[in-house]
Amino acid sequence: MRVETAHLAWNEAPAGAMLYDAARISRPVAALFDAGHYGDRAQPVAAGGRQAAWFVEGEFGEGVLRHYRRGGMVARISDRDYFWLGADSTRGFREFRLLESLAAQGLPVPAPLAAAYWRQGLTYKAAIIVERLPAVQPLALLLDQPVWEAAADAVARMHHAGVWHADLNAYNILIDAAGKAWIIDFDRGHQGGVTARARAGNLRRLRRSLEKVGGAAGLALHEKLEAAYRRCMASRPD
């Protein structure tokens, strides 16, 4: 990966920039973050995208474009604006850098392709494009399949690398055609150490998500997944 920076202008927010993989993107332009730019090569992500994510196809191959949007009560005030704390603190740049690091370590995450922000006064908007993983399905749709070992291994590898995931749910763990598990959506995640309490919190969040989508079947899968996770963690030296 050859990461470079380019300055951007977008509508009424001229102070913007993007990080991008120069080995896969030759023209770092703002249009890359506009779903309309791709025409019929852009398809909305049906699950978990908050109506702000699209499957896209460009010179970089197949990717997932996602605009950062807030959830919860604060979204009623502004669902896309974040307070400006510097370029390196923007949601897109932070997730890009984290994914770049994790992919370089061989962890099962999508490669980052580009991330951008557009600043306007004290706030900014942001977006990211990551590589689309081929032939994958979310854990939420595989509750009756023997996928817990693969999912547990992916989560254990993430935790052993000192990474905390901000929203480990049943749609952010994907299983490919070969049975390998991948973890996506590292917005607000961080690397640098993860406590036992934080690891347990990730597993509790996943349990709630699986119960929500699958009821008893979801809880049964989580029970097997957590047991496999503990075996994986015990087998890895600190």
Angle value at C-alpha 140, between 48 and 143, nearest 5 degrees: 175
What pLDDT band is residue 79 in, cutting at 50, 70 and 90? confident
pLDDT digits (tens, 9 = 90+) for 160-210: 999 999 999 999 999 999 999 999 999 999 999 999 999 999 999 999 999
CATH topology assigned to domain 136-235: Transferase(Phosphotransferase); domain 1 (1.10.510)
Average pLDDT over residues 130-159: 97
pLDDT over 60 (residue 40) = yes
Tell me whether residue 167 is one of the annotated catalytic residues: yes
- Give, as one character, the DSSP assignment of residue 201: H
pLDDT at res. 108: 98
Q: What is the pLDDT of residue 48?
A: 55
Greater model confidence, 206 or 1: 206
- Does the pLDDT value for residue 49 go beyond 60? no
Separation of alpha carbons 7 and 13, rounded Å: 12
Alpha-carbon gap, residue 22 to 81, rounded angstroms: 28
Residue boundaries of the structural domains of the chain: 3-131, 136-235
Catalytic residue among 167, 176, 185, 187: 167
Q: Mean pLDDT over residues 26-47, rounded?
A: 92
Residue position matching structure tokens 């900014």: 124
**What is the DSSP code string of 127-169?**
EEEEEPPTTEEEGGG-TTSS-HHHHHHHHHHHHHTTEE-S---
User: CB-hemisphere CA count at 13 Å for 129?
Assistant: 28
User: In this prediction, what percent of the chain has a pLDDT beyond 70?
Assistant: 91
Q: What is the pLDDT of residue 59?
A: 95
Q: Provide the pLDDT for residue 75.
A: 42
Residue-level pLDDT at 76: 46
Confidence band of 14 (pLDDT split at 50, 70, 90): low
